[in-house]
Structure 1
Amino acid sequence: MRTLIVTAHPDTDSLTHHAAGRLQEVLGAEEAVIAHLGQEDFDPRFTIGDRDNYLSRDQPDVAVAAEQERIDDATHLVLVFPVYWWSMPGLLKGWIDRVFIAGWAFDADEDDCIVPGLQRLTMHLLPISGTAAESFARHGYAQSFNTQIEHGIIDFCGIRRGATAFIHDSESGNREAIAGAVEAATATIASAIASPTYAVAPAGQRQG
């Protein structure tokens, strides 16, 4: 498997699921698989057990280890998700909280500098927003999104940045425009997977 597509939406008839399915079609089922976190009943809660594992560096529980294993089997990871409150849904954030942990996604050296652990992976983002692109720019949310997700998660773990392709105005009711946006976004991601160009954050960030 080259590409793992991850969604976080409770509705199987959602635009999120449709976009993920369309991306898989473009890439080919032999090249990409989809993990629907909402339908797989992944538990996003970071519990005391997760906290204990973080402190002790013990093996994570079976569900977390299984997620890490299927990411390890992939070269490209694509997150397809609706934008809630200018960020990702709680289910997807909880997945990252529990899965992208120290000892696997990153570690710290003796000088307390972060040592990224996922340089082998390229991550792409396909966010689906009900608002217009102009709204993101006007309110500074585009920069906030970049800082929180692209820099704060992708760069922190040393993951190669792939493509970020938004679908905006997803609730406009204009079916033709939305369908065109899905085609454009999935084509952008597929092209980036086929012909990757990488942007990698410098290593050795100090833990804050």
Structure 2
Amino acid sequence: MRILMVLAHPLEDSFAASVARAAKETLESRGNTVDLLDLYREGFEPCLSAAERVSYFSQRYDASEVAGWIGRLQAADGLMLVFPQWWFNFPAILKGFFDRVFAPGVAFDHDLAGGRIIPRLTNIKLFCALTTTGSPWWVVHLYMGNPVRRLLKRGIAAFCSKDVRFRMVSLHDMDRATEAKRKRHIERVRALMSRI
């Protein structure tokens, strides 16, 4: 399987980078191909440009500034996101990746008659998120209703791809996680990757 792994963390020595490294190593050891897209290191600009916004509902979306990243997404069989949750949401750079790359004519088409969107990322069969959150499990799930999981699974994955396998693995209470807890999480990630 060819997997596009999108890393969204500003620090090169972050725990997210460690998770991405472990996932990539395990996937490649199982014969998968991993294209690591580190949004910060590649200088991805998250802000939707005026040309992109103007063309959003036109005949053709202006993807000229993000064509390289779109090509990498379209070449993948699986998409893996590695990121921290900040304020129960995506880092801004990852939200910008969705805004600019998951665009009309790329990730979906507008159904002008019914107002729905029609999935176009039929190449994506696996959609996986490896994430951390500073809040305890009960705050994320019981109080907040796990908004990131809902957005990814019910929104982005379901609207942009058909018959996609979705998986999300989170380390909760990251701000107080011991080294032992972090190591257990890395092993959990490796175990999941070994089954792909």
Question: Same fold per TM (> 0.5)?
Answer: yes
Determine the C-alpha separation between the residues in 2 that align with 1:173 and 1:59. Answer: 43
Q: Matches of residues 149-168 of structure 1 in structure 2 within 5 Å? A: 149-159=152-162, 160-168=164-172
Secondary structure at the counterpart of residue 165 of structure 1: strand
Indicate whether 1:114 and 2:96 are aligned: no
Aligned residue in 2 for 1:69: 71
Secondary structure at the counterpart of residue 55 of structure 1: coil
Determine the C-alpha separation between the residues in 2 that align with 1:59 and 1:115. Answer: 15
Q: Matches of residues 99-110 of structure 1 in structure 2 within 5 Å? A: 99-110=101-112
Secondary structure at the counterpart of residue 150 of structure 1: helix
Secondary structure at the counterpart of residue 118 of structure 2: strand
The residue identity in structure 2 corresponding to 1:132 is P
1:57 Cα deviation after fit: 3.5
Alignment: residue pair count:
191
Indicate whether 1:19 and 2:19 are aligned: yes
1:17 Cα deviation after fit: 0.7
1:181 Cα deviation after fit: 1.0
Indicate whether 1:182 and 2:182 are aligned: no
Determine the C-alpha separation between the residues in 2 that align with 1:161 and 1:63. Answer: 30
Aligned residue in 1 for 2:127: 123
Do the aligned partners of residues 185 and 167 (structure 1) sit closer, same or farther apart at CA in structure 2, a change above 3 Å counting? Answer: farther
Do the aligned partners of residues 139 and 59 (structure 1) sit closer, same or farther apart at CA in structure 2, a change above 3 Å counting? Answer: closer
**8 Å CA contact retained: 2:61, 2:103:** no
Larger strand proportion of the pair: 2
**8 Å CA contact retained: 1:86, 1:141:** no
Aligned residue in 2 for 1:42: 44
Indicate whether 1:172 and 2:172 are aligned: no
1:190 Cα deviation after fit: 4.1
Structure 1: which 5+ runs fail to align?
Answer: 195-208
The residue identity in structure 2 corresponding to 1:126 is L
The residue identity in structure 1 corresponding to 2:156 is I
What's the % identity of the aligned pairs? 29
Further displaced range: 126-135 or 182-191: 182-191
Do the aligned partners of residues 57 and 11 (structure 1) sit closer, same or farther apart at CA in structure 2, a change above 3 Å counting? Answer: farther
TM-score after normalising by structure 2: 0.89
Further displaced range: 11-20 or 182-191: 182-191
Structure 2: which 5+ runs fail to align?
Answer: none
TM-score after normalising by structure 1: 0.84
What is the Cα-based RMSD across aligned positions, in Å? 1.9
Determine the C-alpha separation between the residues in 2 that align with 1:57 and 1:186. Answer: 43
The residue identity in structure 1 corresponding to 2:37 is A
Secondary structure at the counterpart of residue 156 of structure 1: helix
Further displaced range: 77-86 or 28-37: 28-37
Determine the C-alpha separation between the residues in 1 that align with 2:84 and 2:181. Answer: 17
